[in-house]
Amino acid sequence: MAESAHVFDATQTNFEAEVIRASLQTPVLIDFWADWCAPCRQLGPVLEKLATDYAGAFRLAKVDTEAEMQLASIFGIRSLPTVVLVKEGQMIDGFMGALPESAVREFLTKHGIVPGEAEAAVEVDPYADETPFEAINRLQQEIADNPDKPELKLDLALALMQSGNAAAAEAELDALPAKYASDTKAVRLRGQLDFARALDGAPSLAELRARIERDPADLAARDLLGVRLLIDGEAAAGLDQFLQVLKLQRDWQDGQAKKRLIAAFNVLDDEDLVGSYRRKMSAVLF
């Protein structure tokens, strides 16, 4: 492996200086791998990409366990790949297996490691203007070309949900390996599917609005209108409906409005919006 500013081969010779002492200044992520290990070949490029993306926020030390058996023994490596995080001279956490990029980013964030300035300056999402249907076509082709990358199927499930095909999205999600259950994208998608199920057999948007115009205290209509608006991407308007139900009758349907708000907070990606409505909910409740 060619070394770079952020990725290097760790050996017994340079380990003390390049990993232990260096981690006093910059966290070091150690990737224990072997050439014969297929999951290692899947995870390795992900870690190397992140080391570049994070622009020096951490360094990646690659340990070839076939060549560095004593290092692997010192760390008690029994499964490959194994990744260990060293900060301030101490081993503080780690994980095993080929996690998707999103899960590795969450692991780094948990330990206060965030992308460096270089990533913010150059990162551009090439699919930012893509419609859900365009995303579905692209991802289906990428999956056909890369059947060993289940993270693509998670992205496909999200695109299917955005296109309005909740049943297909749920089928793709259910087919993913169990380790993806805690992925942030998967958790949010599960929440979106729960909201979609609440609309089975529900009246149309126009009918719900008409019901509320006739009777502003029609809490069932407000609840379903809030779900519809949330699913349609009008998050603030949907949250307003749940909040209004909470104001009118906080214990309606065993506190369903509060449950809807909390569930919505878990699926929304807008931290400012979520923070604002958390405060509004607290003001009503307390």
Buried residues in 227-238 as b, exposed as e (16+ CB within 10 A): bbbbbeeebeeb
Question: Is 81 inside a domain boundary?
Answer: yes
Q: Is 34 in a helix, a strand, or coil?
A: coil
Residue 124: the pLDDT is: 56
Asked if residue 167 and residue 74 are part of one domain, the reply reads no
Number of domains in the chain: 3
**pLDDT digits over 1-28, tens only?**
445 689 999 999 999 999 999 999 999 9
- Tokens 């081993």 correspond to 91
259 shares a domain with 277: yes
Q: For the chain, how far is it from start to end, CA to CA, in angstroms? A: 58
Identity of the residue numbered 7: V
Q: Please, are residues 84 and 30 in contact by the beta-carbon 8 Å criterion?
A: yes
pLDDT score of 163: 83
Handedness of CA 31, 34, 40, 44 (dihedral sign): positive
Could you read off the pLDDT of 133-175 as tens digits, one per residue? Answer: 888 999 999 999 988 888 898 899 888 887 878 889 889 988 8
Write down which residue in 141, 176, 197 finishes a domain.
197
H/E stretch holding 8 reads strand 7-9
Q: Are both 61 and 112 inside the same structural domain?
A: yes
Domain end position, chosen among 197, 214, 240? 197
- Residues belonging to the active site: 37, 40
Question: Which stretches of the chain score pLDDT less than 50?
Answer: 1-2, 118-122
117 and 40 inside one domain? yes
Q: Are 164 and 63 in a shared domain?
A: no
pTM for the model: 0.49
Tell me, yes or no, whether 95 and 161 share the same domain: no
Domain harbouring 280, CATH code: 1.25.40
| 161 Cβ neighbours under 8 A, 6+ residues apart | 169, 189, 192, 193, 196
Q: Is residue 250 part of a domain?
A: yes
Same-domain pairing of 59 and 150: no
Are 221 and 279 within one domain? yes
Residue 2 lies in a domain: no
Cα dihedral sign, 145-150-156-160:
positive
Report the pLDDT value the prediction gives residue 7, as an integer from 0 to 100.
94
Residue 100, domain extent: 7-122
The reply to whether 178 and 271 lie within a common domain is no
Map residue 22 onto helix, strand or coil.
helix
Task: Please say which residue of 150, 177, 197 terminates a domain.
Answer: 197
Contacts of 144 (CB under 8 A, 6+ apart): none
Bridge partners, 28 (sequence order): 59, 86
